Structure 1
Amino acid sequence: MADDRAEDDRAESESANRPVAGDAVLVEKDATVPAVAVLTLNRPARRNALTLELKQALVAAVEQVAADASVRAVVLAGSGNAFCVGQDLGEHAEALRAGAGSTFDTVERHYNPIVRGLTGMPKPVVAAINGVCVGAGLGFALACDLRVAAEGAVFATAFSAIGLTADSGLSASLVHSLGASRALELLLLGESFTAEQAARWGLVRAVAPADQVLDSALDLARTLAAGPTAAYAEIKRAVAIGAVSPLEETLAAEAAAQARLGRTRDHAGAVEAFLAKQRPTFEGV
């Protein structure tokens, strides 16, 4: 029986760490805190440019970790020396030359589900921005809840340089983070900005040496994975509502969320721990 259980545990671990759709996106559990899942865009030779295969894999990976109750925090990272340079323009150019009518369906079929999946993830998501972060890659990073950037990371919208407007939610996320004036500046001019500028603007939480950025993101995710996961989900939902809704709607959403959270084991346990002058232990429910 013990051998059977060990075999089952190994199979479960291998399944959790199995890449999605080949090797385009790696889905792994953190060795230190298995409640942290790490999603890694894995086309380092092309700076993680978004091919159809990678986009499909990322949609599946985001859905996978969102549905996995054992995962309580997520890190989104890029392999090699880049986070993501956005759409693979080589693949895109081939589709344009072929007159593919569905060329821009990718926004609705892939980019939008990825952004919705990250922003709506019922657990915190931390972006580990290890290098270039451009176009849809920037949109994905801003769809995460917290961001850590490498000292040499460079950011840009880049859409106007190829005659396009923003996608991946940037028209909203840049405005919410920086205001309409700076969002327009970044989108119209397409000028790049550094990790240090991003930190000054509040787009990233911290700037770390390139060889430490993933560890910094993992440290954040490990802390969050030990927290009140149900409360984090409600916090994300309430902030999303508050960003676009009148005060009365926000107040109603907050009241409903508090009523739900008031019935959780985490809330009851945390109150008892506070009264006993002890540190609470959160189960995430």
Structure 2
Amino acid sequence: MSPTTLRCTVDGPVATITLARPDKMNAFNATMHAELREALDNCERVEAVSVVVLTGEGRAFSSGQDLTVDLKRDEQGRLDLGPALTRDYNPLVLKLSNYPKPTIAALNGPAVGASMNIALACDIVVAARSAYLQEAFANIGLIPDAGGTWILPRLIGPKLALALMLSAEPASAEDAHRMGLVYKVFDDDSFAVDVAAFAARLAAGPGLAYRLTKQAVAQSLSNDLEKQLDLEARLQGEAGSSHDFMEGVAAFREKRPPRFEGR
């Protein structure tokens, strides 16, 4: 059955998942969560796919949770947001954080609330110049979720993270770039072309080395220096015995572009 809330297209080694509820600014509901997890699973299984891009249709990346849907209530009739997080957001953030292939969040427009944190769970964030990121939770009396209280302080430090969370002020693409949240800012007019070119360049790289690098960075968050050095030695041993390393050295010596195969 075809998805109803997103589209997944494959162009060579690059898969693009486009959130497609533009009338709702691509707000997340349970269906979109289920379809996004399934799309990510499918892209992971397809060996020819090397890089996954997550973006939005229309004028927004996503406005976050769709607040117009009926959410679970407790016995006193109060909204209970915990089950939606446990069922939908937490598995998605964990899947993105542990994804074996490089992921790019391409912010074609605003990434607000939970969608900001979903974007930050991807490996690389690029943004259109008109886009912005906003931890908007305080505006409706909530705390940041979808991993925001864990991811954001580790990226920019607790003081600046708290400022963004408590003020709920939007950060422009340029400001987010200066903070280190966004890797590249592309002009709106050329955004789609620039994202495609960037993703294609990344997809031509050494897939095995990418996977090992992601593993090393993830474990560095809990390792001390000695453990991390040991991990680097082990992972480098695996990378050094790979076809891609031999191809990279041969290409360097022969002064030609390498032809990596991800093995």
Match of 2:233 among 245, 249, 255: 255
Give TM-score, length-normalised by structure 2: 0.93
| 2:29 alignment partner in structure 1 | 51
Gaps of 5+ in 2: none
2:88 to 110, 114, 121: 110
- Give the corresponding residue for 2:9: 28
What is the deviation of 1:164? Answer: 1.9
Task: Quote how far apart the aligned CAs of 1:77 are.
Answer: 0.4
Q: Could you tell me which residue of structure 2 aligns to residue 10 of structure 1?
A: none
Counterpart of 2:57 (choices 79, 95, 107) is 79
Which whole-Å CA distance do the structure 2 matches of 1:54 and 1:254 have between them? 37
Asked if residue 159 in structure 1 is aligned to residue 159 in structure 2, the reply is: no
Measured in 1, the distance between the counterparts of 2:217 and 2:62 equals: 26
TM-score normalised per structure 1: 0.86
Q: Distance in 1 between matches of 2:197 and 2:163?
A: 34
**Residue 266 of structure 1 is aligned with which of 238, 244, 255?**
244
Deviation at 1:156, TM superposition (A): 0.8
Deviation for aligned residue 1:165: 1.6
2:201 aligns to what? 223
Distance 1:154 1:277, change over 3 A: closer
Question: Secondary structure in 2 aligned to 1:121?
Answer: coil
1:91 offset after TM fit, Å?
0.8
Structure 2 vs 1, CA of residues 190 and 102 (structure 1 numbering), >3 Å: closer, same or farther? Answer: closer
User: 1:199: Cα distance to partner?
Assistant: 1.2
Between the aligned partners of 2:256 and 2:188, the Cα distance in structure 1 is 37
Stretches of structure 1 that go unaligned for 5 or more consecutive residues are 1-19
Query: CA 1:237 to 1:24, structure 2 compared with 1: closer, same or farther past 3 Å?
Result: same
Q: What residue number does 2:170 align with? A: 192
**Contact 1:43/1:49 (CA < 8 Å) preserved in 2?**
yes
2:104 matches 1:123: no
Q: 1:54 to 1:230 in 2, by over 3 A?
A: same
CA contact (8 A) 1:21 1:57 kept: no
How far apart are residue 101 of structure 1 and its match? 8.2
Change (3 A) 1:181 1:102: closer
Q: Distance in 1 between matches of 2:231 and 2:41?
A: 25
Matches within 5 A, 1:204-223: 204-223=182-201
